[in-house]
Amino acid sequence: MSGCGLGGLNKSASGVVLGMVQLQLPVIVTPGDLAEQTTRICEIVGKARRNMRTMDLVVFPEYSLQGLSMDTRAKFMCHMEGPEVAAFKEACKKHFIWGCFSIMEKNPDGNPYNTGIIIDDKGEVKLYYRKLHPWVPIEPWEPGNIGIPVCDGPNGCKLALIICHDGMFPEMARECAYKGAEIMIRTAGYTAPIKHSWCVTNQANAFCNLMVTASVCMCGSDGSFDSMGQGMICNFDGVPLVEGSGRADEIITAEVRPDLVREARVGWGVENNPYQFGHRGYVAVKGGARDCPYTYMKDMVHGSYALPWESEIVHKDGSLYGFPFPEREYKGEEVSPDVRKL
- Please state, in angstroms and rounded to a whole number, the distance separating the CA atoms of residues 234 and 165: 18
Could you say which of 11, 42, 62, 142 is catalytic? 62
Please list, in sequence order, all residues whose beta carbon lies within 8 angstroms of the beta carbon of residue 69, skipping any fewer than 6 positions away: 28
In the set 100, 131, 157, 234, the catalytic residue is 131
**Helix (H), strand (E) at residue 171:** helix 170-178
Question: Positive or negative CA dihedral for 7, 8, 11, 12?
Answer: positive
Radius of gyration of the chain (CA): 20
- Is the distance from CB of 254 to CB of 241 less than 8 angstroms? yes
d(CA 245, CA 248): 8
Cβ 266 vs Cβ 275: under 8 Å: no
Element (H, E) at 159: strand 158-163
> Do 98 and 57 form a contact (C-beta atoms < 8 A)?
yes
Instruction: Count Cβ atoms below 10 Å from residue 334 Cβ, excluding itself.
Output: 13
Q: Does 316 participate in catalysis according to the annotation?
A: no
Q: What is the DSSP letter of 7?
A: G
CB 147 within 8 A of CB 174: no
Beta bridge partner(s), residue 24 = 219
Q: Is 217 considered catalytic here?
A: no
Peptide bond into 112 cis (omega under 30): no
Residue 31: exposure state from Cβ atoms within 10 A (0-12, 13-18, ≥19): exposed
Per annotation, catalytic residue among 164, 176, 217, 234: 164
Respond yes or no: is residue 62 known to be catalytic.
Answer: yes
Q: Residue 186 pairs with which residues in a beta bridge?
A: 162, 215
CA angle 225, 164, 136 (to 5 degrees): 75
CB-CB contact of 62 with 218 (8 Å): yes
Q: So which residues are the catalytic ones?
A: 62, 131, 164
